[in-house]
Structure 1
Amino acid sequence: MDSVDLVNRDPNNLNDHIKVQFEDVLAEPEGARSIDCVWKLSYTCFNLWLGICYKLMTLCYGICIAAEWGCEFAAIAFYHIWYITPVLRVCEINCAVFTKITKTCLSCCIEPCCEACGAIFIHFKK
């Protein structure tokens, strides 16, 4: 079993689109500024409640949700390994035979007609 990287928890950058830092959510432009102590306390409250709520939700639901997703991806892997891939292989095998039959029929029936038409029109010149 692989060990869990506790430092870089999104090594494939799956959640780059989620911006939850204070600076990504709240910003005051020039000309619309709150008092410095309000801005500092807002920063502290935001980060405190973000951390508390996120940790509580992951504590209460994270393990169950991870278990459900594990089951979901196990089912997907199972279906692909034991059903979808073999069905696709059967289709490939059957299509190869159909392709061979079609090519043979075309070369027997259509190709002579095309060659005859080509022989007629080859003599026309500008």
Structure 2
Amino acid sequence: MASDSNGGEIKLTVGEDKVTTADVTKGEEIDLKNRDPENLHDHIKIQFHDVFGEPDETVFSFDFVWRFAFKLFTNVKLWCYRIVSLICGLPLAIFWGIYFAMLSFCAIWCCEPYMKAYAIELGCIRRLFNTMLNAFVRPCFEVMGYCFYNIRVQKG
């Protein structure tokens, strides 16, 4: 890590690329219209008609009540979400950023090397176990197979 000749922003080397600390997103743009492009939350896309429905023409409220309930439901849901996300969104984004950074760190620097070492250590035991099976168990089953080879079951 070093500063440029102008003493400006800090540059990092990632692979062969020189990137600034502000270029973490690699030029990815955020879509402010479609905020769930991977459809992660289809199960919570709730609209007024998903919750409320009057069954037929004989059981229904006044039109102004139905319209007002629709507007209240939609706006209260929107503004409650906006207020809660305003209060909690940024702290939770920081928390989840730290969490996934630590999770990635553990997966890269702890879990994967441990699993690789474990696989190497168990390789010796696996070879020993296979040798024991081939030496003692396999011959017994082969003999049993030869014994029952000519037995045929027919319908009476």
Question: Identity of counterpart residues, as a percentage?
Answer: 33
Query: How far apart, in 2, do the equivalents of 1:88 and 1:104 lie?
Result: 24
1:22: how far off?
1.0
1:101: how far off?
2.5
Counterpart of 1:5 (choices 10, 31, 39) is 31
How high is the TM-score relative to the length of structure 1? Answer: 0.81
Query: How far apart, in 2, do the equivalents of 1:52 and 1:112 lie?
Result: 70
Structure-2 residue corresponding to 1:26: 52
Structure with more contact order per residue of length (Cα contacts < 8 Å, sep ≥ 6): 1
Structure-2 residue corresponding to 1:55: 82
Contact 1:19 1:25 (8 Å CA) reproduced: no
> Amino acid of the residue matched to residue 50 of structure 1?
K
Higher helix share: 1
Contact 1:22 1:47 (8 Å CA) reproduced: yes
1:65 aligns with 2:92: yes
Structure-1 residue corresponding to 2:42: 16
1:12: how far off?
1.4
1:102: how far off?
2.7
Query: How far apart, in 1, do the equivalents of 2:65 and 2:107 lie?
Result: 55
Q: CA RMSD in A?
A: 2.6
Counterpart of 2:117 (choices 87, 90, 101) is 90
Q: Which runs of 5+ in 1 are unaligned?
A: none
1:104: how far off?
3.4
> Amino acid of the residue matched to residue 66 of structure 2?
W
Alpha-carbon displacement from aligned partner over 1:67-126 (angstroms, at most 9, x marks no partner): 11111111111111111111111111111122222333444x4279649x83xx66x966
> Amino acid of the residue matched to residue 80 of structure 2?
C
Query: How far apart, in 1, do the equivalents of 2:111 and 2:124 lie?
Result: 20
Counterparts in 2 of 1:41 and 1:105: CA distance versus 1, 3 Å: closer
Higher strand share: 2
Query: How far apart, in 2, do the equivalents of 1:112 and 1:18 lie?
Result: 56
